[in-house]
């Protein structure tokens, strides 16, 4: 059995599917953890959700967390788009993928699936979250601070507040070479967002997967067809 983590798919369905089926060669006995941000920015938000929802039906063990973009889509669908929902072009890509004109018209099955996503997961040796934690807080409060878990862009890692476990997160696009360095150094906190959706940024444009047991880093280049948002 292998345990893999990946994150920040952002509508890059072809890239994610290739990673799962041809690079990881995922088997039913393996575990795949996905740390959020399935929608927005990329070309096929609906396709990503369809694929993620189908994998367990096909016998695969897939565990998904909530990301800030997933939360923003939920907010928009509840007519709270004023809170935060990316650029106009970004919104249009997402709505087009669902074949709707307004976020509140997105089919209920997708919104229900997103609504049920947890904010964090603990697995042997590791804690998984989309963005990170406010390690200044007492552990019980830290683990209830949903806003930070979805949105923080910097934190000072403290393994003692995670029961000695290491942390894997996404959220902040990070150059591939920097992620490789942190993996090689067995860092206590590893950010896996290598900016797959930003296909014109040579230092990014990869979907990263991390083997929790061997600590191997697998990098899949963006293979999507042309789409208008692709530079950070």
The predicted-structure confidence for 124-141, as pLDDT tens digits, reads as follows: 999 999 999 999 999 999
Mean pLDDT, residues 85-114:
90
Boundaries of domain holding 75 = 3-119+173-221
**pTM of full prediction above 0.75:** yes
Q: What CATH number did the domain enclosing 99 receive?
A: 3.60.21.10
List, edge to edge, every strand of the sheet that includes 126-129. 120-123, 126-129, 166-169, 189-191
Report the length, in residues, of the chain.
232
Q: Can you give the pLDDT at residue 33?
A: 98
**203 occurs within a structural domain:** yes
Distance CA 119, CA 132 (A): 10
Q: Is residue 32 part of a domain?
A: yes
Q: Determine the pLDDT at residue 82.
A: 58
Instruction: Read off the pLDDT of residues 51-74 as tens digits, 9 standing for 90 and up.
Output: 999 999 999 999 999 999 999 999
Residue 138, in any domain of the structure? no
Establish if 133 belongs to a structural domain: no
Mean pLDDT (whole number) for 202-216: 97
């Amino acid at each position: 059995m292998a345990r893999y983590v990946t994150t920040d798919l952002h509508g890059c369905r072809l890239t994610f599917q290739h990673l799962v089926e041809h690079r990881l060669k995922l088997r039913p006995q393996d575990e795949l953890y996905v740390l959020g941000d399935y929608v927005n920015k990329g070309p096929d938000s609906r396709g990503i959700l369809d694929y993620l929802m189908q994998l367990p039906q096909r016998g695969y063990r897939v565990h998904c967390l909530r990301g800030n973009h997933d939360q923003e889509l939920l907010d928009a669908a509840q007519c709270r788009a004023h809170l935060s929902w990316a650029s106009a072009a970004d919104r249009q890509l997402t709505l087009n993928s669902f074949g709707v004109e307004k976020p509140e018209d997105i089919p209920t099955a997708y919104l229900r699936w997103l609504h049920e996503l947890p904010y964090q997961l603990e697995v042997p040796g590791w804690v998984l979250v989309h963005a990170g934690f406010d390690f200044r807080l007492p552990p019980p409060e830290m683990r209830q601070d949903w806003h930070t878990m979805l949105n923080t862009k910097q934190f000072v890692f403290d393994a003692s507040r995670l029961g000695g476990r290491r942390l894997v997160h996404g959220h902040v696009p990070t150059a591939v070479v920097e992620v490789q360095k942190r993996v090689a150094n067995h860092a206590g906190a590893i950010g896996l967002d290598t900016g797959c959706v930003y296909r014109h940024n040579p230092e990014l444009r990869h979907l990263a997967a991390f083997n929790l047991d061997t600590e191997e880093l697998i990098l899949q280049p963006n293979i999507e067809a042309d789409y208008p948002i692709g530079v950070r």
